[in-house]
Amino acid sequence: MKQHPALRVLYVIIPVLVSLAVTSALVIAVGESPFEVFEKLWEGAFRNTESVAGVVNFWIPLALACMGLIITFTAGLWNIGMEGQIMMGALFASWAARTIQLPPELLVPIELIIAALGGAFWGFVVGVLKTRFGVHEIFGGVGLNALVSVYAIYLISGPWRQPEGGNAQSTEPFPANALLNPMSDVFPVSLIALLITVAAILVVIWILRGTRWGLNLKATGKNPRSALLLGVPTTRSTLSAFMACGLLAGLAGAYRVLFTYDSLRPNVSGGIGFLALLVVLLVGIRPLWAPIIAFVFAAILAGSTRLRVSLQLDSSLAGVLQGTLVLVVLLFNGLRQRLTEARPASAAPAAHTSSTVSAPTSGSEGAAS
């Protein structure tokens, strides 16, 4: 059964409208006009090429993180440790930028590789905690996130502190030869990073569609026990999924310090890892959609920075909008499935319409293993 196109559009529009309504209610609650807020959001993201570049600068790390998470979601893993893996990448990249002295043509690739290794290392730790020590990845991840974030604050306020009189909230700006360069003044986005991101998107899609490793990941995610019985090395799949995800997270972290901030700051990831989890929850494990939704979310994020400037509103409103959207979509999908199943005539193709399964099945095994 094909669904009527108008109906499918409706399925998208209703959650969007509901989440806009909820957000508006909150805005009214603090005494502002929702229209003005949404206008400012839009302005913050799309008023000129420079602001669009701002959106792309959020999109690059977010899309990298999303593609990483698609790998772990495919393997049935809840990688909440994403945030920490991004931070770890940022930390490693900062270390390289501060210590290694080379011309930029050599230094930048080395920094990126080191950052990717840092992220992969932190992903590996989550994986080992899970596979070897039985700690569920949600709790391992949350713990490791906090550890790296505290350590970054320690570095910024301690060993990497600025000389007297400098800003206590960041390290010294890295030398110019350690930074990624913007491609132009009107569109300040790093070309290298943009190309890497596009490549990462394509590679992840290819891995999941056409490689044996991708197949192993899927098998592990769908049913780890039978996958193991059929000869899939599930432990290795789990670990490699975490490491691949951490690799991309590390690159995202590197972008934040080597381009967005030019220095290491506390909370350098800015919640991008969590946001990426929301994106992936929204799109399920369909890798093609992730970059598109990531762009929408990046626009909301970039737009929200203007709320504080022009309306003195907390930019957490962006999170409210994104969070409600995902929540409503999840609930609405469930409602839709129930309604389609309730009608016996349409019961048969339910398998097709239920392409909304977004959470890895093994994630629901509970809080412990």
Partner 1 sequence: MNPELINILSSIIANATPLVIAGIGETISERSGVTNLSLDGSLQLSAMVGFAAALATGNILLGCFVGMLVGALIALIVVAGNIELRQDQVALGFVLTLLCADIAQFLGQDLSGERAITMPRVNVPLLADIPIIGPIFFQHTAIVYVSYALIFGVWWWMFHTRGGLALRASGDRPETAFARGTRVNRLRYFYTILGGALVGLGGAAFSLAIKPGWSNPPAMRGEGWIALAIVIFGGWHPFRVVLGAYLFAVLRALASAIQRSPDIDFPLVLLNLLPWLLMIGTLVLVSSGVVDRLLRLLPERAQKWTRNFLRSDPPTALGTRFDP
Placement of tokens 């995902």 in the chain: 326
> Is residue 363 involved in binding partner 1 (CB under 8 A)?
yes
Beta bridge partners of 182: 190
Give 194 or 281: the residue with its C-beta nearer to partner 1.
281
> Is residue 4 involved in binding partner 1 (CB under 8 A)?
no
Q: Which stretch binds partner 1 (CB under 8 A): 136-144, 212-220, 226-234, 251-259?
A: 136-144
> Is residue 245 involved in binding partner 1 (CB under 8 A)?
no
Helices (H) and strands (E) in the chain, counts: 14, 0
DSSP 259: I
Report in angstroms the alpha-carbon separations of 244 from 70, 84, 126, 293. 10, 14, 12, 21
**Nearest approach, Cβ of 235 to partner 1 (angstroms)?**
15
Q: In this structure, is the dihedral angle defined by the CA atoms of residues 19, 21, 27 and 32, taken in order, positive or negative?
A: positive
Site string for partner 1, 152-171 (x = CB under 8 A): -xx--xx-------------
Site string for partner 1, 280-309 (x = CB under 8 A): -x----------------------------
Work out which of 164, 176, 212, 364 binds partner 1, going by CB under 8 A.
364
CA trace torsion 70, 76, 81, 86 (10° rounding)? -20
**Nearest approach, Cβ of 282 to partner 1 (angstroms)?**
9
Q: Say how many residues touch partner 1, by CB under 8 A.
A: 56
Work out which of 11, 151, 160, 213 binds partner 1, going by CB under 8 A.
151
- Residue 327's identity, in one-letter code, is L
Which residues within the stretch 54-93 sit at the binding site for partner 1 (CB under 8 A)?
78, 80
> Is residue 277 involved in binding partner 1 (CB under 8 A)?
yes
Which residues within the stretch 19-38 sit at the binding site for partner 1 (CB under 8 A)?
26, 29-30
> Is residue 324 involved in binding partner 1 (CB under 8 A)?
yes
**Nearest approach, Cβ of 67 to partner 1 (angstroms)?**
19
Q: Which stretch binds partner 1 (CB under 8 A): 85-93, 240-248, 286-294, 313-321?
A: 313-321
- Residues 75 and 136: beta-carbon distance below 8 Å: no
Structure tokens at 340: 């389609």
> SS3 for 185?
coil
> What is d(CA 286, CA 291) in angstroms, rounded to the nearest whole number?
10
Work out which of 109, 134, 166, 233 binds partner 1, going by CB under 8 A.
134
Alpha helix ranges (H) inside 30-173? 34-46, 49-74, 82-99, 104-131, 137-157
Q: Which stretch binds partner 1 (CB under 8 A): 129-137, 185-193, 201-209, 236-244?
A: 129-137
> Is residue 132 involved in binding partner 1 (CB under 8 A)?
yes
Q: In this structure, is the dihedral angle defined by the CA atoms of residues 336, 338, 343 and 347, taken in order, positive or negative?
A: positive
Q: Which stretch binds partner 1 (CB under 8 A): 1-9, 115-123, 126-134, 234-242?
A: 126-134
**Nearest approach, Cβ of 132 to partner 1 (angstroms)?**
7
> What is d(CA 53, CA 190) in angstroms, rounded to the nearest whole number?
10
Report in angstroms the alpha-carbon separations of 283 from 141, 221, 293, 332, 367. 22, 17, 8, 14, 24
> What is d(CA 221, CA 361) in angstroms, rounded to the nearest whole number?
7
What is the binding site for partner 1 (CB under 8 A)? 26, 29-30, 78, 80, 129, 132-136, 138-140, 142-144, 146-147, 150-151, 153-154, 157-158, 274, 277-278, 281, 313-314, 316-320, 323-324, 326-327, 330-331, 333-335, 337-338, 358-359, 363-369
